[in-house]
Amino acid sequence: MKGQTSRPFMNGVQCSKMLRKPPMATIVGPAQSLLFFSLRRPISSIAPLAPDPEPVDDLSSQLYSILARPNWQKHPSLKTLLPSISPSHVSSLFTLNLDPQAALAFFNWIALQPGYKHDVHCHSSLLSILITNGFFQVAEKIRISMVKACVSVEDARFVLRQMNRDSELGFKLNLRCYNMLLMSLAKFLMIDELKSVFLEMLDNRVVPNIYTFNTMVNAYCKMGNVVEAKLYVAKIVQAGLRPDTFTYTSLILGHCRNKDIDNARKVFEIMPSKGCRRNEVSYTNLIHGLCEAGQIDNAFKLFFQMGEDNCSPTVRTYTILIHALFASGRRIEAFDLFRKMIEKGCQPNVHTYTVLIDGLCEEAKLDDARKLLNGMLDKRLGPSVVTYNALIDGYCKEGMLEAALGILGLMESNNSCPNARTFNELICGFCKRKDVHRAMSLLSQMLNQKLSPSLITYNSLIHGQCKAGHLDSAYRLLNLMNDSGLVPDQWTYSIFIDTLCKRGSLKEACALFESLKEKGVKANEVIYAALIDGYCKVGKINEAQSLFNRMLGDDCFPNSYTYNVLIDGLCKKKKLREASLLLETMLTRGVKPTVVTYTVLIKEMLKDGAFDHAFSVFNHMILAGNQPDVFTYTTFIHAYCSLGSLEKAEALMARMNKEGVLPDSLTYTLLIDAYGRLGFINRAFDVLKCMTNAGCEPSHHTYCFLIKHLTNENGVKTFSDNEGLDLGSILSFVDLNSVWKTVEFKVIQKLFDKMNERGCEPDVGTYGKLIIGLCKQRRLEVAQRVFDHMTSQGISPSDDIYNALFGCSCELQVYGEAMRLVDVMIENGYLPSLEYSKLLVCRLYEEENNEKAKSVFCSLLHCGYNYDEVAWKILIDGLLKRGLVDRCSELLSFMEKMGCQVHSQTYSMLIEGIDGT
């Protein structure tokens, strides 16, 4: 049965009896009806089994020697070898000239050993021995076991080929074996093979029974193909048999899969009149169908009726309802049902826990989800890969990637193999955090585990590379995707077009857009919106409107985001009236404005000082069912702060909190700057304390303003005050460069003192923002003093801090310090930036420090980077572009010697680059 471990098939006495050579038997079904044989027709035979012979290894040879001796079970070497024995070793062993009795005895003995399970190949090799020696009776049992051992479509196909070969040797399939085979094929929804085997069964004059027909009915119902299923129901009647509970229950399933609840109910209701008892599965299938159709209350009515048919809800029944409650946002009811389930003595299974964990993760209740996972492990209820994936996905969505990696480690330690989705979720999470190198290293792990990256994998990585500004690497990933046989889709091209527009490469973006038709890709609303936004950002509003009209002409209907982009573009061109008219057009076309739509208009009105009009739109927005968000409130707060109306700004912030809208970093920073400009430094730091207490991390802007005002407090004016803030550029309201170019460590020390004084002690985020800002302006000496101050406080640096110092050292050509930082980072598990590593390796080679360059390169290869990315950045973008061809060849050879395999596309690029140069 499913999930059952292998076990011996007979004891020693039975084994001895079964291994007597019986005469060949021809399997002919009873002549119940000539109808079955009228259904016969020629079919294409299953492809013959022609496996490549497994090479016999040392371990298999040792086992062969041991089995040749009497009392081999007591052989002292067997216990030592046991942990290393795998199904492939057993399969290889059986290809040797082994005695049939010894082979069967070993097959049964090894199946009892903890952690071992036979696969279909072991069964196949044993069958070859048994059939060749004429032991058909025991071979029949082994063949049934082989069918049960199928765990994948590939296994099932292998078994089909094995059956075909055995038939050619005269070892025909009987009814039971056919039924088991059909069930296995149905399990994997291998419909074509299922039908072929059924027809072969008729061709071989083996008469189907009710189990055969029910298997066929159920398989088609699982696919939602009720029409085909009913043909087999008709065959049941034609054969003189009667449809039973299983038959009708399958039909209920089929109708539910088609979302045809009415017909599913009709089948359910006629079952008693047909003499068929409705069982737990009948109820559960219909309950599931009702839940899928959103009829949860009707599902519960049916749930409470189960007792009328002497049925008790199963773990699956409860799990379906719990899942439906979670999907409807009724979490409390879901947990109430979970508790009642346990009270009724129905123990939750892995799927139940998975549903609960997934539901909690959807609501970001990650601590509760982790407790449930721990509870499963305590109960020795092994989580499935789906369970782990639910938690990994939850952590990734909340940006808790270290916790997600911890679950991956837990998963592997519990011998649960991650699948492609596991890696896709992690890759997507790291790409969202702009940690694309870690995402690329996960791609390497994925490939090492023989998992095939999908379109989702490549699209996530391409998006990550584009967000990180590595457009060349994104295009290279596109080549890898194509080489893998995957076809780029709308999302792939939307990523490239959006990135090109954001980089100001509008001409290139338009060229790619115009090429989509010949690629067979229809532009969607995301692609159009990206281009419209690109035109708006460069002030080409007429072109944006023209593209908008083209979008309508292509039957691609704009969504709220597209309208928002164009409305914002019109506002930036001071065309408020046209923007308002577009809002009206949006409404007439049935597109609901969002909070962003109204906020864009409000911002433009506030820029003109039209507070009354802005509040009128604000109130209209609320009446339309759109609750103001943090961006809306912050727009008003920004306007008040720019006018020095801090009481109104504070009042609006209080209203935000009352409405449950949490201020973000920008909201607090605006208030901090406003107090600073008025000379209320202590009040500015009080706002900082409120900010950190609320769990809102200060940004670079926050510290820039604080440093600026502390500097002015000392009477040192190093940059001009900008009193009239431009509401159109909220995120660039201070010249960041001027702050980092001029600030001295004594001012930063004063910042720390002030923060400690006001109860908001500096943390790693504080130091990180300061060090990164200083390093961008190559203020390495001051940055190092800040770093030393941080470590003196017992605060461990982050990878961003190390990389900032590393990059600054490279740019200033302080190579000794750069190399030291590489070693420290790798020692602490951090990845040195490839961009700066490229700079370091190239500069070292240019200065003839060849051994040091090799040393850095070697270190990079050992710290988990994706080898393709290393080759792209260091060898192609670095050495080849600088004309250092010999050095590139040298490092490529070094990679090959270390066994660092790169993709064939990357290798071709390298060879072309070397030859071309």
Would you say 290 and 302 are in contact if contact means Cβ atoms under 8 Å apart? yes
Q: Look at residue 734 and tell me whether its pLDDT is greater than 70.
A: no
Closest CA to 816 of 777, 846, 843, 776: 843
What pLDDT was estimated at residue 597? 95
- Integer Cα distance of 69 and 912 in angstroms: 61
15-24: average pLDDT: 41
- Integer Cα distance of 299 and 291 in angstroms: 6
Query: 647: alpha, beta or left, given left = phi > 0 and alpha = psi -120 to 50?
Result: alpha
* Helix 541-553 / helix 560-572 crossing angle, nearest 10 deg: 160
- Integer Cα distance of 748 and 711 in angstroms: 10
Closest CA to 809 of 831, 765, 779: 779
Task: Report pLDDT digits (tens) over 511-559.
Answer: 999 999 899 999 999 999 999 999 999 999 999 999 999 999 998 999 9
Cβ partners under 8 Å of residue 402, min gap 6: none
Which two three-digit tokens encode residue 575? 């065309």
Q: Look at residue 717 and tell me whether its pLDDT is greater than 60.
A: no
Long-range contacts at 588-596 (CB < 8 A, ≥ 24 apart):
589/557, 591/558, 591/559, 591/560, 591/563, 592/560, 593/560, 593/563, 593/621, 593/624, 593/626, 594/560, 594/564, 594/626, 595/621, 595/626, 595/627, 595/628, 595/629, 595/631, 595/632, 596/560, 596/564, 596/631
What pLDDT was estimated at residue 164? 85
- DSSP letters, 204-244, are TTPPP-HHHHHHHHHHHHHTT-HHHHHHHHHHHHHTT----
What pLDDT was estimated at residue 28? 36
What pLDDT was estimated at residue 22? 41
CA-based angle 361:362:367, to the nearest 5? 25
Q: Look at residue 19 and tell me whether its pLDDT is greater than 80.
A: no
What pLDDT was estimated at residue 713? 67
Task: Report pLDDT digits (tens) over 385-424.
Answer: 999 999 999 999 999 999 999 999 999 898 889 999 999 9
297-313: average pLDDT: 94
What pLDDT was estimated at residue 264? 96
More confident residue, 64 or 57: 64
Residues shown for the chain:
917
DSSP 847: T
867-901 residues labelled b (16+ CB within 10 A) or e (exposed): bbbbbbbbbbbbbbeeebeebbbbbbeebeeeebe
Q: Please, what sign has the CA dihedral across residues 185, 191, 193, 194?
A: positive
Of 50-59, 334-343, 441-450, the poorest mean pLDDT is in 50-59
- Integer Cα distance of 238 and 215 in angstroms: 17
Q: Please, what sign has the CA dihedral across residues 168, 174, 177, 178?
A: positive
Number of neighbours of residue 282 by Cβ within 10 angstroms: 25
Query: Please, how many CA atoms are within 13 Å of residue 46, restricted to the half-sphere of its CB?
Result: 25
Q: Look at residue 664 and tell me whether its pLDDT is greater than 60.
A: yes
- Integer Cα distance of 195 and 155 in angstroms: 18
Measured CA distances, 782 to 359, 774, 840, 851 (Å): 49, 7, 22, 31
For residue 279, give the 3-state DSSP assignment: coil
- Integer Cα distance of 423 and 428 in angstroms: 8
- Integer Cα distance of 278 and 290 in angstroms: 17
Please, which pLDDT band fits residue 219 given cuts at 50, 70 and 90? very high
Cβ partners under 8 Å of residue 687, min gap 6: 668, 671, 672, 675
Please, which pLDDT band fits residue 829 given cuts at 50, 70 and 90? confident
Would you say 213 and 242 are in contact if contact means Cβ atoms under 8 Å apart? no
| Helix, strand, coil % in the chain, rounded to nearest 5 | 70, 0, 30
Q: Look at residue 59 and tell me whether its pLDDT is greater than 90.
A: no
Let me know if 91 is exposed, middle or buried by CB neighbors in 10 A (0-12, 13-18, 19+): buried
What pLDDT was estimated at residue 1? 36
665-677: average pLDDT: 94
Number of neighbours of residue 148 by Cβ within 10 angstroms: 17
Compute, in degrees rounded to 10, the torsion defined by CA atoms 193, 194, 200, 206: 160
CA-based angle 637:640:646, to the nearest 5? 95
- Integer Cα distance of 195 and 351 in angstroms: 31
467-473: average pLDDT: 93
Query: Please, how many CA atoms are within 13 Å of residue 625, restricted to the half-sphere of its CB?
Result: 2
Q: Look at residue 8 and tell me whether its pLDDT is greater than 50.
A: no
- Integer Cα distance of 676 and 687 in angstroms: 11
Percentage of the chain lying above the pLDDT 70 cut: 91
Closest CA to 876 of 861, 889, 864, 894: 889
What pLDDT was estimated at residue 51? 41
Would you say 663 and 641 are in contact if contact means Cβ atoms under 8 Å apart? no
Q: Look at residue 168 and tell me whether its pLDDT is greater than 90.
A: no
Long-range contacts at 771-774 (CB < 8 A, ≥ 24 apart):
771/801, 771/804, 771/805, 772/700, 772/800, 772/801, 772/804, 773/700, 773/703, 773/704, 773/736, 773/739, 773/740, 774/740, 774/743, 774/808
Please, which pLDDT band fits residue 737 given cuts at 50, 70 and 90? confident
Would you say 705 and 731 are in contact if contact means Cβ atoms under 8 Å apart? no
- Integer Cα distance of 382 and 883 in angstroms: 56
163-177: average pLDDT: 86
Task: Report pLDDT digits (tens) over 578-636.
Answer: 999 999 999 999 999 999 999 999 999 999 899 999 999 999 999 989 999 999 999 99
What pLDDT was estimated at residue 17? 41
Would you say 453 and 421 are in contact if contact means Cβ atoms under 8 Å apart? no
Average pLDDT over the chain, rounded to an integer: 88
Closest CA to 291 of 333, 241, 327: 327
Task: Report pLDDT digits (tens) over 245-262.
Answer: 999 999 999 999 999 999
483-507: average pLDDT: 93
Q: What is the radius of gyration, based on Cα positions, of the chain?
A: 35
For residue 690, give the 3-state DSSP assignment: helix
Q: Look at residue 720 and tell me whether its pLDDT is greater than 50.
A: no
504-512: average pLDDT: 94
376-393: average pLDDT: 93
Query: 400: alpha, beta or left, given left = phi > 0 and alpha = psi -120 to 50?
Result: beta
Strands (E), 360-399: none
Measured CA distances, 761 to 692, 714, 767 (Å): 9, 22, 11
What pLDDT was estimated at residue 917? 52
The H or E element containing residue 562 is: helix 560-572
Residue indicated by tokens 């440093």: 707
Measured CA distances, 855 to 700, 825, 845, 859, 861 (Å): 35, 15, 11, 6, 10
Task: Report pLDDT digits (tens) over 803-821.
Answer: 999 999 999 999 999 999 9
The H or E element containing residue 674 is: helix 665-677
